[in-house]
Amino acid sequence: MNTTVVRAENLGKTYGDFRALKGISFSIDAGDCFGFLGHNGAGKTTTMRMMYGMSTVEEGGLWLFDESFRLTPPSIKARLGVVSQEDNLDDDLNVIENLEVYGIIYGLTRAESRVRGKDLLVFMGLEDKENSSIESLSGGLKRRLVIARALINHPDIVILDEPTTGLDPQARHLVWQKLRSLKAEGVTLIMTTHYMEEAVQLCDSLVVMHEGSILAKGSPQYLIATYVRPYAIEVHLPLSQVPEGLADKVTAEGGEVIRVLDSLFLYADDGEKLWNSLEGWGVPKYACLLRPSNLEDVFLKLTGMGEDA
Amino acid sequence: MAAIRIFARHMAVFRKIWFTNIMFNFIEPLLYLTAMGYGLGTFVQDMEGMTYLQYIAPGMVASSAMFAASFECTYGSFIRLHYQKTFQAMLAGPVTVRDIVAGDIMYATFKSMVFGLVILTVISGLGQVQSWWALFIPLFLVIPGLTFSLLAICYTGITANIDNFNYYITLFLTPAYLFSGVFFPINSMPGWVEVVAWINPIFHSVEVCRAMALGNINPGLLVHAGVLALFAMVLMPLAVRLMTKRLIV
Ligand SMILES: Nc1ncnc2c1ncn2[C@@H]1O[C@H](COP(=O)(O)OP(=O)(O)OP(=O)(O)O)[C@@H](O)[C@H]1O
Ligand SMILES: [Mg+2]
């Protein structure tokens, strides 16, 4: 199942005289969960909006289901489900009516749409909110309803722009589980997230974006193996208490150091060995944490949030 | 015609709000009718062979239809565009901006017919309708309904702030309404007012409504309807263009 469902080539976007997207290329396979990571303003939403027809393709090319376009045509939009970054539920309608009316927009009959809507409420754990007003829903419940709404048309691709922002941990796990079951049905998922754990849990493949460019792409495992050493030691000491020359010593041992705000992150191939050296270099162990490297380290390193110390 | 599906969304809302909506909206024309018709009317002897109440009653039908369409596509559309982001949500579905604009003006036109019909019922009840031709008034109201909703949605397309609708109402709708021949014949005014009246959509609407209420059917009515239809045809592409600018970046 390796058909490409989305392909971008040198896709760019300029707002006024600000170049928000600087020519990115990627391709997404059918059935995959594909993630976009990146700081605020990296260009994730800009890319998503071009896919689902809220923004025009003016530079480079974008293909969905092998069709290229300037503005996503209705025939393609009919096969997408969209969870936009902002909750845009219909405040004039209650929960079930929101789904019903949205189904009608996709060409379902009222009756079909209602049945499907009720199934989706159950699917997203919202069945007891059927007749609630939108106003009365908490932020997390709204988010779940937006996800339910995006599934009303049995989409082939679901685009999720920060689907779990604002959700509590339980709700986030519930959403993950639902997204996994969609994936098991063969639905392609395209998502953005600020949660590295979410990306690791769900994404087969992802890109790290920064200021409108893609810095790296691959599976989470590939990115971790490629961009950082296997072990990380976090040193949480005020910078003034960090012994002079620590960075040089670590580097001399073949490690790497980056500074993340007020902490130092040390990376090494042999974490144990570096860990054992720390005390001798005057770094108290209570302030340190040894752990395997993860996607967050990749992100910090690539996006320059961690400055080289 | 995906616009029908957008219209279906609006009708789902209308089914919930129609009662309060109508109750609230028919009070104002009724106030005008009583204050002007019975109050002022006592001092007015004869208007082109009619009592003053008879004269203004069909204008109330035309004007409440105008206000209904105008409010829906100013405040209503703006809220859907700017605050509730209903347009954006719908646009992620298999529809175009044209469908969304068409769905909105269909709804506004529908509401304008409903409000026109309500006022028509009221004035009939007051015995101010002389002809069975009046039954065609709601049908006719589709044409000015489209014109006014398109005018309004064009303004919405260029409005950044909801407060700016005050300008639309006080600088455009109210003057258009006052100098439309609802309260006094336009030909009693200086010649240039008469000329300006021809580009005033509500003038055409009032002329047709009054003629139908009186059973005074003549070919000139087609000209009035034609002018309104022409406005609508010119405005539709403009409305789509302006809304596209707002929705697609
Ligand atoms: N309509 C617009 N007009 C002007 N600039 C815009 C517009 N939309 C986005 N931008 C700018 O483009 C850049 C990318 O924005 P985008 O929304 O794609 O970021 P993002 O990666 O989704 O960020 P976040 O994580 O905060 O959602 C930002 O600098 C943003 O200010
Ligand atoms: Mg975003």
Kindly report, residue by residue over A157-188, the tens digit of the pLDDT: 999 999 999 889 988 999 999 999 999 999 99
Chain B residues within 8 Å of chain A (Cβ atoms): 2, 5-6, 8-9, 12-13, 16, 84-86, 88-96, 247-249
Kindly report, residue by residue over B178-187, the tens digit of the pLDDT: 988 888 888 8
Residues of A with CB below 8 A from B249's CB? 15, 49, 54-56
Average pLDDT, chain A: 93
Residue B32: band (very low, low, confident or very high) from pLDDT cuts 50, 70, 90: confident
* pTM for the whole structure: 0.92
pLDDT at A115 over 70: yes
What lies within 8 Å, CB to CB, of B99 at 6+ separation is: B1, B2, B3, B5, B6
d(CA A6, CA A157): 9
Least confident window among A196-200, B33-37, B139-143, B204-208: B33-37
Least confident window among A239-243, A274-278, B207-211: A239-243
Predicted complex: ipTM over 0.90:
no
Residue A74 distance to chain B (closest CA, Å): 4
Q: What percent of chain A has pLDDT over 90?
A: 76
Average pLDDT, chain B: 92
Residue A307 confidence (pLDDT): 57
d(CA A23, ligand 2 centre) in Å: 18
Cα distances (angstroms) measured from residue A263 to each of A31, A287, A288, A298, B80: 39, 10, 10, 16, 46
Does the distance separating the beta carbons of B84 and A54 come in below 8 Å?
Answer: no
Kindly report, residue by residue over A77-113, the tens digit of the pLDDT: 999 999 999 999 999 999 999 999 999 999 999 999 9
Question: What's the N-to-C CA distance of chain B in angstroms?
Answer: 24
SS (H, E, C) A34-95: EEEEECCCCCHHHHHHHHCCCCCCCEEEEEECCEECCCCCHHHHCCEEEECCCCCCCCCCEH
Kindly report, residue by residue over A27-69, the tens digit of the pLDDT: 999 999 999 999 999 999 999 999 999 999 999 999 999 999 9
B120 by Cβ neighbours in 10 Å (0-12 / 13-18 / 19+) ranks as buried
pLDDT at B24 over 80: no
pLDDT at B82 over 60: yes
A51, A92, A149, A153: best to mutate for the B interface, most B CBs within 10 A = A92
Residue A308: band (very low, low, confident or very high) from pLDDT cuts 50, 70, 90: low
Q: What percent of chain B has pLDDT over 90?
A: 72
Residue B66 confidence (pLDDT): 95
* Closest residue to A102, CB basis, from B93, B96, B248: B93
Across the strands, what pairs with A191? A35, A160
Q: What percent of chain B has pLDDT over 70?
A: 100
A13, A46, A55, A101: best to mutate for the B interface, most B CBs within 10 A = A101
pLDDT at A189 over 80: yes
The label of the residue with tokens 């998922």 reads: A189
d(CA B184, CA B163): 31
d(CA A228, CA A256): 9
**What ligand is nearest to the CA atom of residue A46?**
1
d(CA A23, CA A60): 7
Region A193-208: what's the mean pLDDT?
94
Residue A279 confidence (pLDDT): 85
* Closest residue to B249, CB basis, from A15, A100, A105: A15
Q: How many CA atoms lie within 13 A of B240 on its CB side?
A: 14
d(CA B152, CA B75): 9
CB-based contact B25:B68 (threshold 8 Å): yes
Region A247-265: what's the mean pLDDT?
86
Please write down the long-range contacts of A94-97, taking CB distance under 8 Å and 24 or more positions apart. Answer: A94/A130, A94/A131, A94/A132, A94/A133, A94/A134, A95/A121, A95/A126, A95/A129, A95/A130, A95/A131, A95/A132, A95/A133, A95/A134, A95/A137, A95/A145, A96/A121, A96/A130, A96/A131, A97/B12
Please write down the long-range contacts of A171-177, taking CB distance under 8 Å and 24 or more positions apart. Answer: A171/A140, A171/A143, A171/A144, A172/A198, A174/A124, A174/A125, A174/A144, A175/A143, A175/A144, A175/A147, A176/A201, A176/A202
Residue A309: band (very low, low, confident or very high) from pLDDT cuts 50, 70, 90: low
